[in-house]
Amino acid sequence: MSTKVASFTLPFGRVIQYGITEPSSASSSIAEGSTIILSNSLCSTFASWDHVVPVLASKGFRVLRYNQPGHGGSGVAEDLSSTTFDSLADDVRQLLAHLGISKLFAWIGVSMGAATSIVFAARYPGIVARLIPCDTISCSPANAGTADVFAPRVASAREAGNMDAIVEGSLGRWFGGAWMGDHPAETARMRQLMRETSIAGFETCCAALSSKSFDLRPLLEDAGKGVERALLLVGEKDANLPETMEELRQGIERGAKNSNPSASVELKVIKGAGHVCYVDGFDQFCKVITEYLAE
């Protein structure tokens, strides 16, 4: 397989960094030439998927990844408060047009990458064939009626002048001390990737997550209607997200049944995994994904 990393300037001037991995000629041909997007969480770069990409490429898939605003080589908008999930979905649409990709075999998104995938499927029906959102909240704290967890973290990073405390806190929440102690090399790899998040990038993505406009719940049926199939995944240890993801599953399934009354959407739990389930639940994650993509 071969990977090309490049940047594209979006119509409004922001630069988005992306990587495309082409399958090797020796790979099996389940879906030769078919493109899968991998879209990751806040406070990480697309290199977090580095272990997953060869698994998909070996099955004949082309893999497209991109960095969130202010993460890795992606830039931020001049107005940090302007980032929304609508704008993030539109950015991906522009990137696909630039690359000449009119159809996606699948979109696998985790956390804010999953939220973007659902918004995209609702806004742009018929592009994503298989929707695979993992480990996302359903709406902003303002819409959930809960305390804003994002503003204090942004303020903390601004006050410190660096992302160190945010990175360490996120590592602990995502993976837990026991897993980190048992996997020091992978923990160190993730820590290094997470440090490629700028304070501005963290702030602008938190603006999307805390925006009053962020609410997936009214979009679920349209997302279900806009794709051919869907599967949801969640880490077993990801706080209350197993319950949240079940609610999302039900909404997406309602939409899917509008066009196919016999349609069903599953939610699969990645045992022992947390928020970034393709890292600490790698083996089961890859097994579930590859089996589903081969169906």
Q: What is the pLDDT of residue 29?
A: 47
Q: What is the pLDDT of residue 24?
A: 74
> What pairing do the DSSP bridges indicate for beta strands 35-39 and 104-110?
parallel
Q: Please report, in angstroms and rounded to a whole number, the separation of the first and last CA atoms in the chain.
A: 23
Given a cut of 70, the residues of the chain with pLDDT beneath it are 25-33
pLDDT digits (tens, 9 = 90+) for 47-76: 999 999 999 999 999 999 999 999 999 999
Does the pTM surpass 0.75? The reply is yes
Q: What is the pLDDT of residue 12?
A: 92
Q: What is the pLDDT of residue 20?
A: 97
Distance CA 173, CA 27 (A): 37
Q: What is the pLDDT of residue 26?
A: 52
Q: What is the pLDDT of residue 259?
A: 84
Whole-angstrom CA distances from 218 to 53, 92, 214, 224, 264 are 32, 21, 10, 12, 19
Q: Are 62 and 21 in contact (CB under 8 A)?
A: yes
DSSP output for the chain? -EEEEEEEE-TTS-EEEEEEEEPPTTS--SSTT-EEEEE--TT--GGGGTTTHHHHHTTT-EEEEEPPTTBTT----SSGGG--HHHHHHHHHHHHHHHT---EEEEEEETHHHHHHHHHHHHSTTSEEEEEEES--SB-HHHHTS--SHHHHHHHHHHHTSSHHHHHHHHHHHHHHHHHHH-HHHHHHHHHHHTTB-HHHHHHHHHHHH-TT-B-GGGHHHHHHHSSEEEEEEETTSTTHHHHHHHHHHHHHHHHHHH-TT---EEEEETT--SSHHHHTHHHHHHHHHHHHH-
pLDDT digits (tens, 9 = 90+) for 127-171: 999 999 999 999 999 999 999 999 999 999 999 999 999 999 999
